[in-house]
Every structure is written in C-alpha cells, then in structure tokens.
Amino acid sequence: MEARSATLGLLPGLSRQFPVAKTIEMFRKTCINHYFELEAARVYDTGIMKIPIYLSEGSEQVPAAISTISSHFLIFAQHRCHSYYLSFGGDMRKLIDELLHRETGCARGMGGSASIHDPSIGMYGHSGLMGDQVPLAVGAALGSAKPVLAVMGDASAEEDYVFGALAYAATKKLPVLVVCEDNDLSILTHVATRRSWGIDEVARSLNLPSIDIADDPWLIAHYVGSFLGKLPALINIRTCRHRWHAGTGKDGEPEWNRLELMKEELRNLGLESEAGEIETQARQTVHRIWQEQLQKPFKQ
Amino acid sequence: MARTVAETIQAITRRHLLENRGLLFGQCVSAVGWIGGTVPEMTEEQGIVELSMADVAGAGIAVGAALVGRRPIYVIRYQGFMWYNAAPLLNYAAKSKEIWGVPCPLLVRSLAMEGGIGPVASASHHGMVTRMPGMSVIAPMTPGEWTQAWEWFMSHDDPLYVSEHRRSFSIDYEMESVLNPRADITLLAIGASRLNALEAMKLLAAERITCDLIHLLWLKPFEVTEVILESLKKTGLGLVIDSDFEIAGTSRSIAYELMHAASVPVYALGLEDRTAGFAPHLDNPTPPPAKIVRQVKTLITSELKKVP
C-alpha cells in the first residue's frame, strides 16, 4: 500500500483541463455539503438531537466530484453520507427534519443520521451492517442494468462479504462503481493495524479497474469519468475525517484540509472571486434553511 | 395426475421468469437435480442466476435485485445456511419497508432436510426468522399450500420466508386437519412434523388414544383460529410439534400463545437441545412418530393426575 498523503496519485495540470463550469459546480456542492455539516454540528451541540451523528466534514468534495461527472447512479452508501444525499439532489429540508426526529424527515425519523435515503434520487438506505451495501449494490446492478454507486469506508472494505460482492461483480461484469472513502480509521484504529493490503489491490487482483488516490476532487472526477465506461471498478480515496467517528468532537487538526487546498487551486485557476461568492452564498443558504426548519416544532 | 410440490414450484418459477421478468438466485442451482426438481431447466438469460459460494454476499445480491423490483426467488439449499444468509435477509429485506418505506419483495426458499447429514445441513431453522420483525414465514408441505405462499407473495410487496422441507417435494395431495368429537389431545404440527404426527396418530389410535391434528401453515403472522381454540377447549390439552429446535423456538412460542388464548395447557415438542451428528444414532431429526406417541401418552397421564 502507498503511504497516505494529500498528493497521492495527483496528475499535474488536471484542474486546468477540467471545464470551468464543472469546477464551479463541484465547488458549489462541496460548499453546500461543508456548511450543512457545520450547521449540523452547531445544532447538535445544543443538545436537541438525541441521535448519533456522522459528519462528513473533510470528505465533502468526494460526492461533489462524483455527482458532477454523473448523477445517474443508483446509490448505496452507509453512515457519514449526508454529503452524498445533498450532492445527488436530496432535499436538504428533509435531511434536517430527519436529524430532528421528525415524521417529515427523509426516513420519517427511522434513519437518523446513519440510514438516510431518497427514492427520488435513487438513493437507498443503509441497514447499519457495515459494507452490506456493496452486495446490495451489485444485486441492484444485476437487476436493473443501471449504473450503481456503492460507497464504503476503509473498515467496511474488510468485511468478508464485500470481497464476495466485488468478485461477483467482476465475474458478471456488472455496472458498479465502488468508492472506498479511506480515512485510515475504523473509529480510532488505523488501517495498518488491521490489514496489510489495499482494497484497490484486491480489486485489481479481480481484474477490476482500480486506483488508490488522494481526495483531490479534480482527480476523483477524472477517474470517475475514465472508469464509467469500464465498470465494475473501484476507487480508494484517501480522505481526512475532521471530527470523531460519531459526534462533533475533534482530535486536533486533520492531516490536511482539502477544502482549503481546493480554494488554493481555485485561486491558481483565477477563480478566487467566483469561489468567494459561491462560498458565501452556500453558507447563507444553508444557514437560512436550517433556521427555517428549526422554527418548526420537533420531537425531543 | 396431480402435481407434486416439486412440480408445482417448478411450474410457478418458470412462469415467473418468463412472464414477470422474475429472477431465481441460488448456488449450484443447475448442478445436481435442479434443487430436487423444483427449478426449471432454464438459462441465465432467462433468469436463473448462479451465485458464487459467497453466502452472505449472495443473499445481499438477491436483496439488491429485490430492491429494484425483480421479485427474485432466492434458494438456500440447506436451512442451516441461514446462519450465513440471515444478515442481508433479516437485517435489510425484512426492515426496508419499515425503516424507509421501500418495499423489498423477495421470496426465500429455504430447504430443510434430515437423515444423517450432520450438524449444519439438517433441521429447519424458521425460528430464527420468526423472531425478527418484517418477514412473514410460511411452512408449506402440499402443492396447494406452496401455491398459497406464492399467491401471497405476488399480492404483497413484502419479503416471505418459505420454510420448505425436502420430504414435501414428492407430495401430490392436500392435508386437511383431522378433528374427532372425542379427541384426547390436540396436535398442532409444523412442516415435516406433520407427516410424523399423522403416523403417530395411527399408533395412538391402536392404543385407544384419539387425537385432533391441526396443520400449522403460517408461522408468522400466526393466527389463533376458531378451529384451534375449539379443539383445545374440547381436548383440554395441546402439543405443538416442529422440525426446528424446541428451546426458544417456534413450537414453544406458539404453545405459549395458544395456552394464553385457550386457557389449557399446551406443550411443545421440537428438536432436542443438542448438535446432530452424522451417525444414525447421533442424529437429531424431526420428532419421530414413536417419540410423539411417548410424549402424548406422558402428557395425557400427567394431565389426568392434575384433575381434582
């Protein structure tokens, strides 16, 4: 396995080859995801949410990048998937309501933060068994012949049935893109303590197109685009979890801050002022929607 | 000539694959005997999906196909393999509608068999399914009962666990409940134990002990019918017989429910609390007729002693 770094697999000049409109879209989605999670954390800390919360701060750009390339996936994610829900067009108000235990939530309060879904965007809920979304995704691809996105973490990648599902997808050449958000942590246990292999290596051994890369959104978008015609495929993406596994706490600074790196790249591209406006607008929009939803009565 | 259970399943499956875009998932489906002749000899293009030997992943793949509306039939060759397969079936398919309002219509054909086949392959295991919310459970033994299971499945959008027994595959007749005006005990039998109960009744009749026999088809939801209540109140004594384990199993659960509903003692007789071995004398089969006879005689004697 390669060592973790913010530059793993980076392809020089990639952002300049990327259409500006797509870059803007990707950044807008990233900002929406980011400020949604900041608001969620702020509200969570008031104590009104009585559920565990799984925040995606640090990896908000991953679904932003994937959805910018293709929004036509059926989606099977797991916990820490607020940003997938939002990036693929899920209703933010319904997500807020879900976190506030409401009947009007996207899973009527049954899903909490971990098991959200939205049939209107083809997103299925997660049961709570880590990694079980991968065989489900493979079955959905077999049954529907539509492209399916399966998202897991580096811990789920170790579940034995994930291998069985990847192997079956490879055998039957099913249109599944498996994304492993590899934050190097199973709660607090590092990957190196748990295994000596990479899930990208496992995928390659099954003859799946596969790559192990940093969480740079242009890089992610590049590989999503190039793998789309070669599914099944797997992308292992090294991300940084800014907060605890569950909850809003932090254990110091993350190894790198992709949002700040993204803004730096936008400056290099001459898009600093557009980026500033997008970020301000995203922050204000998300705050306003949270405030409006908070005004409504909620169940303790 | 009447159709057997196996022929019935095969015909229904063929029609489902040809007319409904249905799918059938399983391991070694097309290998030896097409699952006891219950699977039509059709191709993968026609909907027979051979899975790899990865049981947990395989069940998940079937569940995924159910989520996108293919109404798959998922065959588990031995009910003991449910200890692998249960995770996606009971934790996702059974819960999907309740948690997300997303139906997951999947028919699980889980096959029991017995007779010197060791600790995993023998026995029924529907008890592990009945204790989890969201999955209906039926144990058909006749062509008409299997058809009833299928019709229920196709008219609902829920998953259904069909606890089959290989002893049923050759059955080409229906089984009616047996009710006698002067019965001494009510037997309520599940799955393959129904066949053993019928044999036991003949042996008991020779000893002038008369039984009512009520065949239990739906295990979940379980309905306490008037027929059951009337029989229990008439005999004052019940025995639920099952081909699954007795302790914490379906037989005891149903006995408990019936005891409260009828206010008469209802006992349970299922598999013993021990692991089956391969040697014949170490097997742990569905309670055989002789054992049912012994149990009935013991119960009748002990209950008579309680009468003031």
At A298, is the pLDDT very low, low, confident or very high (cuts 50, 70, 90)? low
**Mind listing the pLDDT tens digit for each residue in A129-168?**
999 999 999 999 999 999 999 999 999 999 999 999 999 9
Tokens of B81: 């393999």
Q: How far apart are CA A271 and CA A276, in angstroms?
A: 9
What are the residues facing A149 on neighbouring strands? A75, A177
> Of all residues in chain B, what percent carry a pLDDT higher than 90?
93
Is the per-residue pLDDT at A299 higher than 70?
Answer: no
Q: Please tell me the distance in Å from B73's CA to the nearest CA on chain A.
A: 12
Q: What is the pLDDT of residue B122?
A: 86
Tokens of B74: 């998922």
Mean of the per-residue pLDDT values of chain A: 96
Q: What is the pLDDT of residue B158?
A: 97
Closest CA to B7 of B45, B32, B30, B35: B35
Mean of the per-residue pLDDT values of chain B: 96
Query: By CA distance, what is A128's nearest residue in B?
Result: B91
Q: What is the pLDDT of residue A250?
A: 94
Query: By CA distance, what is B91's nearest residue in A?
Result: A127
Q: How far is CA A282 from CA A30, A279, B156, in A?
A: 9, 5, 44
**Mind listing the pLDDT tens digit for each residue in B74-109?**
999 999 999 999 999 999 999 999 999 999 999 999
**Mind listing the pLDDT tens digit for each residue in B193-211?**
999 999 999 999 999 999 9
Contacts of B85 in chain A (CB under 8 A): none
The secondary structure of residue B90, as a DSSP letter, is I
Closest CA to A216 of A251, A174, A264, A254: A264
pTM of the model: 0.95
Rounded mean pLDDT of B168-183?
97
What are the residues facing A176 on neighbouring strands? A148
Q: What is the pLDDT of residue B304?
A: 66
Contacts of B65 in chain A (CB under 8 A): 139-140, 142-143
**Mind listing the pLDDT tens digit for each residue in B138-159?**
999 999 999 999 999 999 999 9
Is the per-residue pLDDT at B111 higher than 70?
Answer: yes
Whether residue A142 and residue B63 make contact (CB cut-off 8 A), yes or no, is no
**CA B101, chain centre distance (Å):** 28
Closest CA to B53 of A28, A167, A178: A167
Q: Please tell me the distance in Å from A70's CA to the nearest CA on chain B.
A: 20
Beta carbon pairs, A and B, within 8 Å: 120
At A248, is the pLDDT very low, low, confident or very high (cuts 50, 70, 90)? very high
Q: What angle do CA B63, B67, B70 make, to 5 degrees?
A: 90
Whether residue A164 and residue B72 make contact (CB cut-off 8 A), yes or no, is no
Is the per-residue pLDDT at A105 higher than 60?
Answer: yes
Contacts of B92 in chain A (CB under 8 A): 127, 129, 132, 136
Q: Please tell me the distance in Å from B71's CA to the nearest CA on chain A.
A: 10
Q: What is the pLDDT of residue B201?
A: 98
The secondary structure of residue B147, as a DSSP letter, is H
Rounded mean pLDDT of B246-252?
97
Whether residue A168 and residue B54 make contact (CB cut-off 8 A), yes or no, is yes
Q: What is the pLDDT of residue A300?
A: 56
Helix (H, G, I), strand (E, B) or coil at B17: helix
Q: How far apart are CA A129 and CA B258, in angstroms?
A: 36
Pairing verdict, β B185-190 and B107-112: unpaired
Q: How far apart are CA B85 and CA B128, in angstroms?
A: 11
Is the per-residue pLDDT at B250 higher than 80?
Answer: yes
Contacts of A171 in chain B (CB under 8 A): 52
Rounded mean pLDDT of B157-176?
98
Q: Please tell me the distance in Å from B177's CA to the nearest CA on chain A.
A: 41
For chain A, first and last CA: distance in Å? 46
Pairing verdict, β B73-76 and B24-26: parallel
Rounded mean pLDDT of A185-199?
93
> Of all residues in chain A, what percent carry a pLDDT higher than 70?
99
The secondary structure of residue B99, as a DSSP letter, is H
Is the per-residue pLDDT at A292 higher than 60?
Answer: yes
**Mind listing the pLDDT tens digit for each residue in B257-300?**
999 999 999 999 999 999 999 999 999 999 999 999 999 999 99
AA identity, residue A224: V
What are the residues facing B15 on neighbouring strands? none
Whether residue A135 and residue B60 make contact (CB cut-off 8 A), yes or no, is yes
Q: What is the pLDDT of residue B30?
A: 87
Q: Please tell me the distance in Å from B219's CA to the nearest CA on chain A.
A: 25
Q: How far apart are CA B199 and CA B33, in angstroms?
A: 29
At B33, is the pLDDT very low, low, confident or very high (cuts 50, 70, 90)? confident
Query: By CA distance, what is B47's nearest residue in A?
Result: A143
At B305, is the pLDDT very low, low, confident or very high (cuts 50, 70, 90)? low
Reply yes or no: is the peptide bond before residue B181 cis, omega within 30 of 0.
no
**Mind listing the pLDDT tens digit for each residue in B206-231?**
999 999 999 999 999 999 999 999 99
The secondary structure of residue A131, as a DSSP letter, is T
Q: Which residues contact A186 (CB under 8 A, 6 or more apart)?
A: A153, A154, A155, A194
Q: How far apart are CA B151 and CA B16, in angstroms?
A: 12
Is the per-residue pLDDT at A117 higher than 80?
Answer: yes
Contact B264, B224 (CB under 8 A): no
